[in-house]
Amino acid sequence: MPNKLRRNKRGGSRNLATNVSKPFRTPDSVKAVLGRASPALTRVSDQVSRQNYWKNWLTEHLPTDLTTRLSGVVERDGTLVIFAESAAWSTRLRYLMQELQPLIKQAQPTIQHVSVRVMPKT
C-alpha cells in the first residue's frame, strides 16, 4: 500500500519545541580523528614493544627447543603471562620460570608474578 500524501504541510512541525533547528556539524578530518585515537594507538604500540622485549629476553634465557614452543607473552598488571603451545611444554616452562624469576625481576622490577598458560598456536 503506498504512503499517504502529506498535504498542506511545509516540512515543519506544529509543535514548536521539536521544530528547533539543529546546528550543522562539520565532518571531522582524518587527521583530527587519528589525533583523538592517539592514546589508544600509543597503548597498543607500547604493548607490542613490551611483547617483543620479552620474546627476545626469553629467547636469550631459554633453551632453543622451548622458545619455538612459545605461543605468546603478555605483560599486564605486574604479571608476566607466558603462553606455551601444549600442556607438556607449559609444565616444562613452569619449572624453568621458577629458576628464572629472580632474573625477570632484575630485568623488570614491576613484575611480581610469572604465570604460564596453555594457548595452542594457530
The DSSP string of 78-119 is TEEEEEESSHHHHHHHHHHHHHHHHHHHHH-TT--EEEEEE-
Q: Are 114 and 91 in contact (CB under 8 A)?
A: no
Please, what is the average pLDDT of the chain? 83
Model confidence band, residue 75 (pLDDT cutoffs 50, 70, 90): very high
**DSSP helix/strand/coil, 37:** coil
Q: Counting every residue, how long is the chain?
A: 122
Q: How many CB atoms lie within 10 A of CB 86?
A: 14
Q: What is the pTM of this model?
A: 0.65
Q: 50-60 pLDDT, tens per residue?
A: 999 999 999 99
d(CA 73, CA 58): 9
